Chains A and B, each alone.
Chain A
Amino acid sequence: MSDSTAKQPEPVAPSRLRKVWESDFVYSFRHAPVAVVAASMVTLMVLSALFAPLIAPHNPFDPATLNLMNGFTPPMEPNAFTGEVFLLGTDDQGRDVFSTILYGMRISLFVGFAAVTLAMVLGVTLGLLAGYIGGWTETIIMRIADMQLTFPAILVAMLIFGIAKGITPPEYRNDMAIWVLILAIGLSDWVQFARVVRGATMVEKNREYVQAARLIGRRPVSIMVRHILPNVLNPVLVIATISLALAIIAEATLSFLGVGAPPTQPSLGTLIRIGQGFLFSGEWWILFFPACTLLVLALSVNLLGDWLRDALNPRLK
């Protein structure tokens, strides 16, 4: 008598893995070659950054492993004095460029992920509050967001970086630099999370499942976290991916300008800054390979974000 009989029973219950493999999301991934290539590149780079100590021929920041005689060795050519061969050459102090890139990528990716996480937590929280509570809360949060948007993000980051540096005691400055960098990029990037989450929250809060939760007496914070948050996460995921690419570039820009990662912990941006000094004296590889790595990393993350946006957009289905 019930319409449950009409629910088509699957002849054989497919395994969980099979279900995931067949799902629309994975299907669209499998049929987007660009996304597959980009995802593989990102995975490869994240893994090699993660396992840099195992992969890198030597630790470029351990002075004991360095030999100044190896300085300025071109890629794939034996050094004139020691006869050692370096895959991507060495820099002025004899550091293996391949190893510095692996270690630099570690810093870049760490700063990128941490900054995006900070921006996301901040933006999602403020966006949820603004969208759900409305009124003055919303006005204040969104006006601050609007004001911040009138400055380029990189300027905001430099400002925050400058203030933070000013209030840290000099002896901690080098240790704190990475964290200050994360704070600066994170704080300059929360606005778009907040805007998108606020918009989505305003749609979701009028849906009937939220009213149903309200009328049984669930508290507002609980409704925001348990009901609304899971339903606004799709766009957040897309923005987070694209923000990751932007954060990596922002970090590189700051480091390139000399206000980011210190030379003792060089990121890709620091490497590029150091490398550009040698460009016109012929040691092109010191600049070229870190720059390429940055390009491929940022591009791959961006392409992945683009695909994700299309795949999660119900209107394009």
Chain B
Amino acid sequence: MSALISVKNLTRVFDVSKPWLNRVIERKPKAFLTAVSDVSFEVPENSVYALVGESGSGKSTIGKIIVGLVPPTSGSVEVNGVDLSASKNTADIARVRSDIQMIFQDPYASLNPRWRVRDIIAEPVTVLGGETEGLAERLLEQVGLSAADAHEYPHEFSGGQRQRLCIARALASEPKMIVCDEPTSALDVSVQAQVLNLMSDLREEFGLTYLFISHDLTVVQHVADMIGVLYLGSLVEEAPRDTLFSTPKHPYTRMLFDAAPRMDGFGREVDPPKGEIPDPINPPSGCTFHPRCPLAVDRCRTERPEMRRIGETRVSCHMAE
């Protein structure tokens, strides 16, 4: 299994300063938000890699950088050896663009309400000037809708059906990989099950690779082969699913697992985690998790931990063993 996507030392800083005049009047310096900080990982072909994290962890930003919606500040993303943000070769860029597609969280906002379903689904191919005859109809049946739906408008469909439309659209350019940004978190549980099953069927049928971005541990545990845990823009732990869930090494991962509500946790009295996610504009020094960490020592406050390999796990924690 070779790496389809390799992310190296990816960093993205956003300028979140107030407008120039406000800064002058209020005497405030420019403000920067480090959404992604030195993240490296690889996604092997035909696997499901999941990025988990809470709000502000940078998981969506990483997804957007990979599909080329947001340029990285530093570091690189290579898709099949092509760096989308650095490459000047238009043929390479076009190939990568049709190799990678994305499914978004909100099935209501991700379909243009003024377009017919046929045009929405065929758009990735239309833009590249490809043949679209019968394409939408074929894909609609593939995702469990009816070919007759092609001339409808999106408002005729329920949330779950819309997410199927998004999947059909993502499949149109015959991609190798689909970045799924919280694809089921806007859906009801029973519909979520339908969509997750569909995604797993399509993966087998087309040999797809998924980058699955989610905050929901139960969903991630169900779908992922490899899981990367993000906290405040940094990858804190990465491990194969079973290893991660059986022996989490980073204290943040452990905290997440403990805090997540469980279906069998009747009347469970959890000792809720301390504190909240810090302000990403002024992140804590050293290891960003140290203010909430039960294991923190002086070293954690000053020195940012490097990614270390322990068995199958990569973890960035001074105390992990």
A residues contacting B by CB (< 8 A) are 1-4, 6-7, 207-209, 211-218, 227, 230-231
Contacts and interface: CB of A to CB of B under 8 A. Distances in A.
A4 B144 contact: yes
Interface string B97-126: 110111011100111111100001001100
A9 B109 CA distance: 25
A216 B127 contact: yes
16 contacts: A3-B160, A4-B144, A7-B156, A7-B161, A208-B104, A209-B120, A211-B64, A215-B67, A216-B97, A216-B123, A216-B124, A217-B93, A217-B94, A218-B127, A230-B112, A231-B113
Given A3-B158, A208-B109, A215-B67, 15 more contacts: A3-B164, A3-B194, A4-B144, A7-B161, A209-B110, A209-B120, A211-B110, A213-B112, A214-B69, A215-B97, A216-B123, A216-B128, A218-B123, A230-B115, A231-B114
Contacts of A209: 109-112, 120
Interface in B153-168: 156-158, 160-161, 164
Nearest to A207: B109
B146 interface: yes
Nearest to A222: B127
Contacts of B69: 211, 214-215
B191 interface: yes
Contact of B68 (A6, A213, A215, A230): A215
Contacts of B157: 7
Contacts of B124: 216
Contacts of B33: none
A235 B222 CA distance: 45
Contacts of B146: 4
Nearest to B104: A208
Interface residues of B, number: 40
Interface string B53-77: 0000000000010011100000000
Closest 3 CB pairs of A and B: A2-B144, A208-B110, A230-B114
A249 B245 CA distance: 73
Contacts of B161: 3-4, 7
Interface centre among A216, A218, A227, A231, by most B CB within 10 Å?
A216
A306 to B, nearest CB: 25
A211 B104 contact: yes
Contacts of B115: 230
B63 to A, nearest CB: 10
A4 B149 contact: yes
B34 interface: no
A215 B128 CA distance: 12
A218 B156 CA distance: 26
B145 A2 contact: yes
A117 B145 CA distance: 42
B209 to A, nearest CB: 16
Contacts of A215: 67-69, 97, 100-102
Interface centre among B93, B100, B104, by most A CB within 10 Å?
B104
A2 B68 CA distance: 33
B245 to A, nearest CB: 30
B145 A212 contact: no
A108 B73 CA distance: 57
Contacts of B68: 215
B112 A231 contact: yes
A207 to B, nearest CB: 4
A211 B166 CA distance: 13
B169 interface: yes
B191 A3 contact: yes
A4 B112 contact: no
A217 to B, nearest CB: 5
A204 B315 CA distance: 40
Contacts of B97: 215-217
Nearest to B170: A212
Contact of B127 (A4, A207, A208, A217): A217
A209 B170 CA distance: 12
A213 B102 contact: no
Nearest to A4: B145
Interface in B8-52: none
B6 to A, nearest CB: 19
Interface string B182-218: 0000000001001000000000000000000000000
A88 B20 CA distance: 64
B104 A212 contact: yes
A207 B110 CA distance: 7
B173 interface: yes
Contacts of B160: 3
B102 A212 contact: yes
B169 A212 contact: yes
Contacts of A214: 69
A71 to B, nearest CB: 57
B295 to A, nearest CB: 39
Contacts of A211: 64, 69, 102, 104, 110
A158 to B, nearest CB: 34
A4 B64 CA distance: 31
A216 B173 contact: yes
Interface in B133-150: 144-146, 149
Nearest to A218: B127
Contacts of B64: 211
A308 B98 CA distance: 42
Contacts of A213: 112, 123
A121 to B, nearest CB: 19
